[in-house]
């Protein structure tokens, strides 16, 4: 089968491409604009790890440029699409909202248009737990209130969900959105908590912990995320009696305080962290916790990697890649 993966040089995109290309029957086209939001060397290193796989091709392309995306899509004719390309990071969206309009709104519209014009069997796209506001009940359920996201990033992801629903309803395009919860692991983004914390601990620098370290996060290991994405991808939503559209949470369902997360990293690294306990950030929610009932019932998704094992694997990779 032919699978198009956007954001292929990104954290989750790389792991999806790696897993798909391990199967001889899969032909994968990865696209990414390789922007410099974070170190491009890390993105190129991920792509280098995919070199030599005959069933993987990479094209540098910005899906926010409609003509380029449409041409690639029409030429490749994907059976399935995994749309992971986006501008991420809750706090960055406070100061750089224009980047989110370009990638998450205009770019996502281009993906929907390409799917309408040349429909694949199924398109799975990345949403986020950030669509849930501070008043959402714990654990977060897919039917819970998402009308008041606290960040502009979360607002763009909520917009993606409503845009996708309209295309499913109007054009019969099969679409599933996945609300990711705090993904971590080897090859992770340098702007996320695990990498930022690990770098600071190794360097003896101070870690700013907002909400005095009491914020609780549903950290989910990358292998569990990859398993879930691919399970969902192969089971498109039904067209009848409703539009072929679904939303699933995909997380771990065991949130921990960020202070405990740091303590676990301290033990694995063998050094003590310097902490600066600060008040909450206005764009942050106090807690994230995914209800997994719906995705488990649909595709049998159950996370298997404990935080202890996942962090151990992450630290091993961190030492090998960054050589602190």
Three-class SS of the chain: CEEEEECCCCHHHHHHHHHHHCCCCCEEEEEECCCCCCCHHHHHHHHHHCCCCCCEEEEECCCCCHHHHHHHHHHHCCCEEEECCCCCCCCHHHHCHHHHHHHHHHHHHHHHHHHHHCCCCEEEEEEEHHHCCCCCCCCECCCCCCCCCCCHHHHHHHHHHHHHHHHHHHHCCCEEEEEECCEECCCCCCCCHHHHHHHHHHHCCEEEEHHHHCCEECCEEHHHHHHHHHHHHCCCCCCCCCCCEEEEEECCCCCEEHHHHHHHHHHHHCCCCEEEECCCCCCCCCECCECCHHHHHHHCCCCCCCHHHHHHHHHHHHHHHHCC
For residue 89, cis peptide bond before it (omega within 30 degrees of 0): no
**Full strand arrangement of the beta sheet holding 175-180:** 56-60, 27-32, 2-6, 80-83, 122-128, 175-180, 245-250
Can you tell me which residue has the tokens 């199924």?
122
Catalytic residue among 14, 100, 153, 167: 153
Measure the CA–CA gap between 76 and 39, rounded to whole angstroms: 29
Catalytic residue status for 153: yes
Phi-psi domain of 61 (left: phi exceeds 0; alpha: psi -120 through 50; beta: other): beta
Catalytic residues: 153
């Amino acid at each position: 089968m032919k699978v198009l993966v956007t954001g292929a040089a990104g954290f989750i995109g790389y792991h999806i491409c790696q897993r798909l290309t391990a199967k001889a029957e899969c032909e994968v086209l990865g696209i990414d604009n390789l922007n410099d939001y974070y170190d491009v060397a890390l993105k190129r290193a991920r792509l280098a790890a995919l070199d030599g796989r005959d069933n993987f091709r990479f094209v540098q392309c910005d899906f926010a440029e409609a003509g380029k995306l449409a041409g690639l899509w029409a030429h490749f004719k994907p059976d399935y699409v995994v749309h992971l390309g986006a501008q991420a990071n809750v706090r960055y969206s406070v100061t750089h909202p224009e980047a989110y309009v370009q990638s998450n709104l205009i770019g996502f519209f281009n993906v929907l248009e390409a799917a309408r014009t040349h429909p694949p069997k199924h398109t799975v796209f990345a949403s986020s737990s950030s669509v849930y506001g501070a008043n959402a009940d714990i654990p977060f359920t897919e039917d819970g209130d998402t009308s008041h996201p606290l960040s502009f990033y979360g607002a763009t992801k909520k917009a993606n969900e409503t845009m996708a629903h309209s295309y499913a309803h109007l054009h019969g395009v099969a679409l599933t959105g996945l609300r990711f919860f705090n993904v971590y692991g080897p090859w992770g983004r340098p702007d996320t908590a695990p990498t930022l914390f690990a770098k600071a601990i190794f360097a003896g620098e101070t870690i700013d912990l907002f909400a005095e370290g009491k914020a609780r996060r549903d950290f989910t290991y990358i292998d569990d995320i990859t398993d879930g994405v691919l399970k969902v991808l192969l089971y498109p939503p039904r067209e009848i009696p409703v539009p072929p559209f679904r939303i699933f949470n995909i997380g771990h369902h065991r949130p921990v305080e960020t202070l405990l997360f740091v303590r676990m990293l301290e033990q694995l690294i063998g050094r003590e962290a310097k902490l600066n306990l600060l008040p909450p950030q206005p764009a942050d929610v106090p807690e994230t916790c995914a209800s997994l009932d719906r995705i488990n019932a649909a595709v049998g998704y159950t996370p298997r990697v404990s935080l202890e094992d996942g962090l151990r694997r992450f630290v091993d990779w961190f030492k090998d890649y960054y050589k602190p």
